[in-house]
Amino acid sequence: MFFLRYPDDQGTSTTAVQLKFLACLCMLMDHVGHYLLADQYAIMWPLRLVGRLAFPLFAFFIVVGYRHTRDVSRYWMRLFLLGVVSWFVIAWLEGSPPSQLNILFTLCLGLMAIAGYERSPSWWIPLLCLLAAELGRVEYGSMGVLLIFVMHRFHGQRNPFLLSSGLILLVLLGVNLLIDILLTDPHTDWTLSWLLHTHPTAVFQPFSVLSLLLICRYNGQIGWHANWLQYSFYLFYPLHLAAIKLLL
């Protein structure tokens, strides 16, 4: 058994390529809502809501990628270089240097935590990666790196995987919401309308737990595959942000 389980009906299970397409679609919807439709709340909210599914799916595929890659160092370097390129694309898109390092740096730290733990089974490397996530201000912070590490640690154990991953995603909601509100205005009255207008990502974060249902449908198979498709998944992140910039 490769992962949590193989669905009994293989016709309704999901391959890696299908899940990656879904993750990219969720991310695209999230960024379209954030950058292009930020002032159209009736449309923006559903898009941002669906977008909460993207990060856990990408985190899961770091776990899968680690188990399939022939060279972890090269895998990490691809993610890192793409993160650097994406940093400049985001700076161009937003008109100023990003306040956080993008999600690819989060994935890099998650991969580093996994590789370090497996090569020398001790907790100090994962802990250093968690610290680096906070000091470096990567997207999703230490909770994002911890999610990747926990998904790896409980890989193949259905109930611990779902319980620990779900708990981290819910904690991620609470931490993000609290920090955002405290930094913005600690004296603001907490109303749903105010939260939806000022902190939609934090409000919608609990829905990221639903991504675990999609992960449970993963059948351990790659699916239709080609070299150009593999690299297109890597390039999708900076390219779709550049396309959004051109549409602004």
**What pLDDT, on a 0 to 100 scale, did the predictor assign at position 134?**
92
pLDDT bin (cut points 50, 70, 90) of residue 2 is very low
Examine the pLDDT at 7 and tell me if it is beyond 50: no
CA dihedral over 73, 4, 141, 103, signed as positive or negative: positive
**DSSP secondary structure string, 135-197?**
HTTBTTHHHHHHHHHHHHHTTT-HHHHHHHHHHHHHHHHHHHHHHHHHHH-TTS---HHHHHH
Structure tokens at 56: 């856990």
CA dihedral over 59, 60, 62, 66, signed as positive or negative: positive
Higher pLDDT, 197 or 120: 120
Question: Of 40-54, 94-108, 201-215, 233-247, which gets the smallest average pLDDT?
Answer: 201-215
Mean pLDDT (whole number) for 199-203: 71
**What pLDDT, on a 0 to 100 scale, did the predictor assign at position 5?**
47
Q: Which of 17, 14, 15, 13 is nearest to 236 (CA)?
A: 17
**What pLDDT, on a 0 to 100 scale, did the predictor assign at position 160?**
79
The percent of residues in the chain predicted with pLDDT above 70, rounded, is: 85
Question: Of 70-74, 122-126, 194-198, 205-209, which gets the smallest average pLDDT?
Answer: 194-198
pLDDT bin (cut points 50, 70, 90) of residue 182 is low
pLDDT bin (cut points 50, 70, 90) of residue 73 is very high
Write down the mean pLDDT value for the chain: 86
pLDDT bin (cut points 50, 70, 90) of residue 162 is confident
34-48, 105-119, 164-178: range with highest mean pLDDT: 105-119
Mean pLDDT (whole number) for 127-136: 95
The model's pLDDT over 228-238, given as tens digits with 9 standing for 90+, comes to: 777 788 899 99
